[in-house]
Amino acid sequence: MEIETVGVVGAGQMGNGIAHVFALAGYGVLLTDISQESLDRGRQVIERNLDRQVSREKISAEDRDAALARIRTTLTLSDLGQTDLVIEAATERETVKTAIFEDLVPHLKPNTILTSNTSSISITRLASRTDRPEKFMGFHFMNPVPVMQLVELIRGIATDQETFDAMHRVVERLGKTAATAEDFPAFIVNRILMPMINEAVYTLYEGVGNVSSIDSAMKLGTNHPMGPLELADFIGLDTCLAIMNVLHDGLADTKYRPCPLLTKYVEAGWLGRKTKRGFYDYRGETPVPTR
């Protein structure tokens, strides 16, 4: 089961990062999204990030040019059917992901492996909506993809050993490290990380500390490179809320109840860096706490 061509669904923050690392590792990449604007923006981000790697002498200019030459784009989802591996990196909503896989299935080669970059949704359930649950896996990259070294590999109940071994080899070729997780809500990283972020929001909600004091306390007191509220803004508060809801619904434990303040920020459209406002206001030269 040799993989040489990869289809990536979604050219956003995660999708363009995934396309970047695969192209740099020598894979042919076909990137798709629902608008040409999204594809153009995704390619610009890839070019900018590759240029940064060249300037820091992580890669050569020749490596950058070769990687860019390996990335093609398309607005037609069915074009990805001829690739060896498909990685879905669309928004963290199960209905969206399911619709993508159902549209894609009729166009797939018999041996194409399907994966989802979901950070929390059941792999078994997503796989059951396809014609190849045995060739379906969770393939969860960390953000930002070109920098972070970990990939979570999640088997669904039907995933076969051949598929798992093939994906493990892919992770090695990318120069990253695989962590194997069982198919439970939010897997490993977000099962631990998101309740910490949610608790930081509760600490803010209850007036224990303000945004600055909470983030400073965690950075200086526990040596975290980024405070939990700053990290939440970086991830996207809508994504944080979606994962907390998956944990709360899937495990039925009140300790995973999303903080009402997190819900309020999302309802206001204050989703973090991507909307210029979250726990910090990013509209000026330096971020300013909103509480």
Structure tokens at 108: 């797939």
Is 152 an active-site residue? yes
Is 122 an active-site residue? no
278 labelled binding-site residue? no
Contact 137, 151 (CB under 8 A): no
Is 111 an active-site residue? no
CA 179 to CA 64: how far, in whole Å?
28
In the three-class reduction of DSSP (H, G, I as helix; E, B as strand; rest coil), residue 3 is classed as coil
119 labelled binding-site residue? yes
Whole-Å CA distances, 93 to 88, 96, 101 = 12, 5, 13
97 labelled binding-site residue? yes
13 labelled binding-site residue? yes
Residue 24: CB partners within 8 Å, gap ≥ 6? Answer: 50, 59, 63, 67, 146
Strand pairing report for 136-141 and 150-155: antiparallel
Is 190 an active-site residue? yes
143 labelled binding-site residue? yes
CA 111 to CA 163: how far, in whole Å?
10
207 labelled binding-site residue? no
DSSP 8-state code for residue 272: B
Catalytic hit among 119, 120, 122, 198: 119
Helical (H) or strand (E) element with 281: strand 280-281
Catalytic hit among 38, 122, 152, 198: 152
- To which residue do tokens 């969206």 refer? 96
255 labelled binding-site residue? no
Catalytic hit among 20, 38, 122, 140: 140
11 labelled binding-site residue? yes
Residue 89 pairs in a beta bridge with: none
14 labelled binding-site residue? yes
**Neighbour tally for 279: CB within 10 Å:** 29
Contact 232, 215 (CB under 8 A): no
218 labelled binding-site residue? no
Bind-site residues for NAD(+): 10-15, 33, 92, 97, 119, 143, 274
Bind-site residues: 10-15, 33, 92, 97, 119, 143, 274
* Residues annotated as catalytic (active site), given as ranges: 119, 140, 152, 190
